[in-house]
Amino acid sequence: MDDDRLKVAYAVLGKDDPDAVTLADGMVQSISGELGVKGFTLSRVQRFAWYDLWVNWDATDQQKREVLTAGAALFDALGLDRYASVLRSSEIPVIIAAHRRSYKEGLEAFQRAYVTSGIDPPDLEGLEWGDIMGGQENAAQSAVGLALEHAMDEGRMTPGERGWKTTAKAITAEVVDSAHPEIPGQSWRSVIVTERIENSLRMLEDRSPELQKLMSGIANRLLSPLPPPTDLELHLAPAAWFLEYVGVGAKMTGAGFLPTAMVSDGADRFGWDKGWSDDPPKKESDSRELGALHQLLLDAGAVRHRKGLIARTSVGTKMLEDPEYAWRTIAASLTPQQWLSSVAQVYTLLLLDGESDTEILCDRSRTILTEFGYRFGDEPPGKFDVRSAWRHVSEPLDVLDGYTESGRYPSRRYTLSPFGEATLLERLRLDATGPMRHP
């Protein structure tokens, strides 16, 4: 049936311009191959017209324009008006000019047009699409793109009109959480998560067999979001106090630190001292705990600095209203940089494997991270580099009673609380199941 449709369309096209058939067939092969008409989707047509033709085809710009003209005429003959309009769209001259300037500008122009068209599946809470995708994730995106296209055809969603982005998210979520067509008992979302974990394990196998072995031991625990700890509000009390205190705006000191009254209030409530003495802190720099909490909430986007004030954001307000959201946000914000994330991953896996000695943890982490390929300049990471990175993660966790440290230096030991273990494991899960990005 589809082959017959193409033959008829080619015949119509060839009456006026025989060469156009060859050009249009080249487009068909590029977009859908042997699938023919069945393989046409709005997503594929847009990628061809706005990206593939200009990046991957060995032809002059004039020849490429002729392909678009012939392709649009073929779609007219097939009665596929939406696809014909893509090949004649006003975005084409802008995208051509961008591709002429550089690959980067051409890619950016394509991405802008693609997102604006409404066919690009939006990110969801708990699922961001990767720049690099496995087969299942790519298939899921195609399924969502087809559902979005059908919604446009049916008039349920018109890109650019009020509320279209909300509708696109709802359609995306419906598809992603629907049953996978080939794997019983699984949704598209659960299959994507499994695929990402498997890809992470494969990558680790090539770069660090020891880390891969440690990760394999807990991989099943990462398949679903962890349930929040039972004593959540108790552990989050310092963060909740901080967010309540700053409210819509608290004046910072001239040097850019938290107000001294806030420092005193925190010390009184939570028993913070200077660390080197039992005296209560008088300024933020006197309190390791307050400084770590301040940085954590900045990294989480829960507070912001502006014009000498520190104020709570909408994220911070939601954290106050929803303890589970606060906990997951904090777990996600412990490692704002890739190096910190890698150090936290290794420490977490070693701690969960039963290692607790601080010196051994540092030494084993350094060995694994060196094996993984990390370098500072031409040198592998040193103990100071590893300890500093772990301190960035462990200090806010300490403020929230995530672990205790005992024994005498240098052989001190970590003991994770249930809250600390759950938080580090959730942080690890986010890394293992998160989207793959271009370096």
Stretch 182-192: mean pLDDT = 94
Domain ranges of the chain: 2-116, 126-157+167-207, 232-331, 334-433
Fold for domain 334-433?
Arc Repressor Mutant, subunit A (1.10.10)
pLDDT bucket at 2, cuts 50 / 70 / 90: low
Residue 411 has pLDDT above 80, yes or no: no
pLDDT, tens digit (0-9, with 9 covering 90-100), for 333-370:
999 999 999 999 999 999 999 999 999 999 999 999 99
**Cis peptide preceding 323, ω within 30 of 0:** no
* Residue 38 tokens, joined: 């069945």
Confidence bin at 1 (pLDDT 50/70/90): very low
CATH class of 232-331: mainly alpha
Give tens-digit pLDDT for 56-97: 998 888 999 999 999 999 999 999 999 999 999 988 999 999
What percent of the chain clears pLDDT 90, i.e. is strictly above it? 75
Q: Which of 288, 285, 309, 305 is nearest to 297 (CA)?
A: 305
**What torsion do the CA atoms of 211, 213, 216, 217 make, to the nearest 10 degrees?**
-110
Calculate the average pLDDT of the chain: 91
**pLDDT of amino acid 439:** 57
Judge if 232-331 and 334-433 fold alike in CATH terms: yes
Please state which of the ranges 288-297, 298-307, 371-380 shows the lowest mean pLDDT: 371-380
Average pLDDT over residues 88-107: 92
